[in-house]
Amino acid sequence: MDLTKIKDPSFLKDMQIKELDELAIEIRSFIIEKVSKTGGHLSSNLGVVELTIALHYVFNSPEDKIIFDVGHQSYVHKILTGRAIDFDKLRKYKGLSGYQKRNESIHDVWEAGHSSTALSATAGFEIANLEKGIKNKTIAVVGDGSLNSGLSFEALNYLGHYKGIAPIIILNDNEMSISKNVGRMSKLLNKLRSSKMYVKAASSKTRAPKFIYNWKVRLSNMIRGFAGNISLFDELGFSYYGPIDGHDIKSIIKFLNIAKRRRKPIVIHVVTKKGKGYLPAENDHLGTWHGVSTFDIETGKITDKNNGKLITWSRIFSRHIDSYAKKHENFRVIVPAMIYGSDLVRFQKKYPKNIIDVGICESFAVCFSASLALNDMMVYIPIYSSFLQRAYDQVSHDLARQDLKIVIGIDRAGLVGSDGETHQGIYDIAYLRHIPNIEIVQPSNYREAKMLLDYAFYQAKHSVAIRYSRGTSLIQTLDDLTPITKPTWNKHINNGNVNLIAYGDNFKRLYDHIKKNKLPVNIYNALFIKPFDKKVVDEIFNSNLPIYVLEDVTKLGGLGSSLLEYATEQNYTIKDFHILGLPDEFIEQGTVKQIYKQYGLDTESIIKTILK
């Protein structure tokens, strides 16, 4: 069928199982074709094709609420709700979001770019339905990795024992079983629990005497325990079904209908294959095909790789930390489920004892790291800017308040592009700057990255957060590095009639442009965002020249705000001071160049502004 002509999921109701299976094949081919051209989350979406079809076949969206945890596996949902026609602009500027987006469709009832929020959201929808007397169902589709998060456990604890609500949790297990099931007894038990007789008995309003009921429950648990089928969910008050083949539409529909009829919390455990239908993705054990750029379908080769002279910032830092693992037995890297994303696969193979992956548990990662530091361990924790904000309390309460020292690599700092507003790293300076006992730095090149890491580990007295973008930098030699022993800014005086302050990638691009065109602009490389180099800052304010501060974050709370506060404290007369940064709003997807152009932060616009 022509997927671009789908308006809503109602057409599924009249289809036979064979037709649904054929539709799954078509959708899978469609996703592979489109994502090969746009980039996006491939493996996770290929893995939930049959599951998503079955959900929309059994339930009535949007009256029944389908909530995808994280949301990056909602491509099939988007297709079935009438958005296939827009897939050529998936994750593109002014195009279709890569996540559920409420202003895109009435079928997108919850938005999330971070994991583990779906169960808490489900609790809200369920309680609201109870208060309003609404009988519609709420279904959360949650990956096995998301259940590591404390937020998921908090929600499970609440949902399982709240009387009168009946949430349905689809546990999408694409890596390992939550409960080990052994032998024929387990299969018989699952068959028993899906039978009409069992469902009728379980939902009957006629209650057996209490002692008989208790005996029945104990006997059931004894049998299930013997079969190895008791799960965490049973203990938390859920009826648990599974594991079920997540690519068998008929079987999924059967269990979804059981859950639909029951009036109690249900967990349906489906086992799926990430990347199903595309062999390179199926055979991926590292996460290479989780989120991909454009690729050639026939060969599976990525088509927009950098040339050999450029290297990603993630790889720069993973290379640099090699030296600390080599020299220090007490050196540890703590990673919250991003070994591949932070380019630490090679490091893990080389130093398996020096790296600890704690799963999708950012708060735990920071608190754990603080405790390690208290016990004389050297700790490096690479974490995406937008994920670090999930651990704000631990950074403040457990790390900085106790004045413990770790080094935080803030990956994906600044604009990240196609992942959109949930992943833009444009708030970390603001939420870290006001916390005592923490320093914030950012290199503009390969050599500066090593110098700042050395400073952080060997010279700094407090925790240091080192920012770096999703972009690339030139590979450089590490010969004759000048040690950094204190907060330092580098100044490049060009007999200018204006002072421009920048840091990171922004400094590099503006410095190159100013140098190439011999522009009369004094440009300063603010290696230290907090604390800054007060000697150089005093020189800048005393120059009486116009001052421009270029941020890769929001104007509110960035380096510019910090400099204004300092000027006020020192009674400097502020006549011509300008902050060039992002506005007080969430920034949608697009390339970094497109977004900078939109907000007048591209190189041409900046130079035109400061020289006008």
More confident residue, 579 or 164: 579
pLDDT at 163 over 90: no
Residue-wise pLDDT tens digits, 100-117: 999 999 999 999 888 889
Angle between helix axes 150-159 and 118-132 (nearest 10 degrees) is: 30
Report d(CA 385, CA 181) in Å as an integer. Answer: 39
Nearest partner of 143 among 113, 110, 174, judged by Cα? 174
pLDDT at 568 over 60: yes
* Class of residue 182 by CB neighbours under 10 A (exposed 0-12, middle 13-18, buried 19+): exposed
Query: Is the CATH code 3.40.50.10540 the one for domain 490-611?
Result: no
- Domain at 310-474: CATH architecture: 3-Layer(aba) Sandwich (3.40)
Q: Is 362 a catalytic residue?
A: yes
User: Which helix or strand (DSSP H or E) is residue 409 part of?
Assistant: strand 407-411
More confident residue, 330 or 235: 330
Q: Which of 274, 319, 405, 467 is catalytic?
A: 274
- For the chain, the average pLDDT equals 89
State the first-to-last Cα distance of the chain, in angstroms, to the nearest integer: 57
3-179+231-279 and 310-474: same fold?
Answer: yes
Residue-wise pLDDT tens digits, 263-321: 889 999 888 888 899 999 988 877 788 888 899 999 888 886 655 678 999 999 999 99
The whole-number average pLDDT for the span 577-604 is: 96
Q: What is the pLDDT of residue 385?
A: 96
Contact between 67 and 121 (Cβ < 8 Å): yes
* Class of residue 312 by CB neighbours under 10 A (exposed 0-12, middle 13-18, buried 19+): middle
Q: What is the pLDDT of residue 201?
A: 44
Q: What is the pLDDT of residue 192?
A: 44
pLDDT at 386 over 50: yes
Residue positions counted in the chain: 612
Q: What is the pLDDT of residue 195?
A: 53
Q: Which of 362, 421, 448, 551 is catalytic?
A: 362
Q: What is the pLDDT of residue 224?
A: 52
Q: What is the pLDDT of residue 308?
A: 63
User: Would you list the DSSP string of 86-147?
Assistant: GGGGBTSTTSB-SS--TTT-TT-----SSSS-HHHHHHHHHHHHHHHT----EEEEEEGGGG
Domain boundaries of the chain, sorted by first residue: 3-179+231-279, 310-474, 490-611
Q: Is 104 a catalytic residue?
A: no
More confident residue, 213 or 238: 238
Report d(CA 470, CA 509) in Å as an integer. Answer: 15
Strands 40-41 and 291-292: antiparallel
Which range (40-44, 148-152, 565-569) has the least confidence? 148-152
Q: Which two tokens stand for residue 118?
A: 């779906």
Q: Which of 390, 405, 433, 509 is catalytic?
A: 390
More confident residue, 378 or 196: 378
CA-to-CA separations, 535 to 31, 436, 541, 564, 571, in angstroms, rounded: 56, 21, 10, 16, 16
pLDDT at 27 over 90: yes
More confident residue, 74 or 220: 74
Which range (269-283, 386-400, 438-452) has the least confidence? 269-283
Q: What is the pLDDT of residue 286?
A: 78
Residue 531: cis peptide before it, omega within 30 degrees of 0: yes
Report d(CA 447, CA 430) in Å as an integer. Answer: 26
Q: What is the pLDDT of residue 228?
A: 55
pTM over 0.85: yes
Q: Is 274 a catalytic residue?
A: yes
Q: Which two tokens stand for residue 330?
A: 């007490």
The whole-number average pLDDT for the span 539-548 is: 96
The whole-number average pLDDT for the span 22-44 is: 94
Q: What is the pLDDT of residue 202?
A: 46
The whole-number average pLDDT for the span 10-22 is: 96
The whole-number average pLDDT for the span 388-399 is: 96
Q: Which two tokens stand for residue 270?
A: 């489906």
pLDDT at 198 over 50: no
The whole-number average pLDDT for the span 502-508 is: 97
Rg, C-alpha atoms of the chain: 27
Strands 407-411 and 355-357: unpaired
The whole-number average pLDDT for the span 545-568 is: 97
- Domain at 3-179+231-279: CATH architecture: 3-Layer(aba) Sandwich (3.40)
